[in-house]
Structure 1
Amino acid sequence: MKKALILAAVLGLSACSTIYEQDTRSAKTELSDTHLAMEVAGIVNKPPYRGDTRVNAVSYDGKMLLIGQAKTEALRSSLVQKVREINGIETIYDQIRIKPPLSLGDVSKDTWLTTKVKSALIGSKKLNNVNIKVITEDSEVFLLGYVTYEQANEATEIARNISGVKQVIKGFQYYEPQQQPAQ
């Protein structure tokens, strides 16, 4: 049982990664975002959510993306309300689906889809050195990062054309091409 939980945790984390390791956030902001995501994980792993939800939290500049599943609308609503009470979260993007939590097989499939999408994005010359976070949940691909509109469209089209992807959801912040993102 313990091995299965560790494997599930590793697979869950591996379905969320970036195609390049550069990050435009300051170290303080990165640390704050990590702390916020850990606070959400702490809530999800306690009753009444543990076992009846599978929710991952991704924070970027104080904006929180919640993805996963909750068995009931009441659980989803209650969880989102608890997350709203966390100091430091500016905006919540609720992408929690009302359905039973994914199986380990489904999580493995999402990890494979993330790998395929990342590989395809890396192969694009238009996305050279662009930091895009790819998260896959139940065959839905979430793309996050600080990009131009052209880069967002390119990344979205690439992800949409990967076999097995049901839907692509953009969560980008945009800058004008003449601007360079802060390093």
Structure 2
Amino acid sequence: MPAAPAPVFRLYLLRHAKAAWALPGQKDFDRTLDDAGFADAEIVADMAADRGLVPDLVLCSTAARCRQTAEAFRRAMSEDLEIRYLDALYAGGANIYRDIIGSQDDALPSLMVVGHNPVIEEILREILGEETAATAIPAGYPPGALAVVDFDTRPSDAALPPGKLTAWLDPDRHNL
């Protein structure tokens, strides 16, 4: 039996793991992962690495909790995993995320975006369609969860095409 063809493009959507509440006087941007968040990020990163779900490039919000989540993936996968930090992913809406995803080099086979809700969930719902998304994530997009979506056509600056959810890694459900 021949192997399934590789997708034209694979997108990894990673919501940062659980973060601590802001301390008095602390900016939201500087919030760090709490103990559970650190553990969850390591669990999901190890699950992804064990399954060979390794992106070619990681684009990450510059917020502390996103950087810490992305670093768990570097530790689990490879010190050579390229992570680029983008301020636009911190406060940007879905249109910014779409533009960033769609503007990547056509030669790039896969991309991970490490960002924030509600935008990560909004992008996933757009790509999967509301009915499929409601089945896949009935309780919403939990912190630290990773969606892996395959596409038959490449995203463009104008739009994200429909995609197929090929993996869902949730730190609260280790057996997925």
TM-score by length of 2: 0.28
The structure with more strand, counted as a fraction of residues: 1
**Higher relative contact order at CA 8 Å, sep ≥6: structure 1 or structure 2?**
2
The higher radius of gyration belongs to: 1
The structure with more helix, counted as a fraction of residues: 1
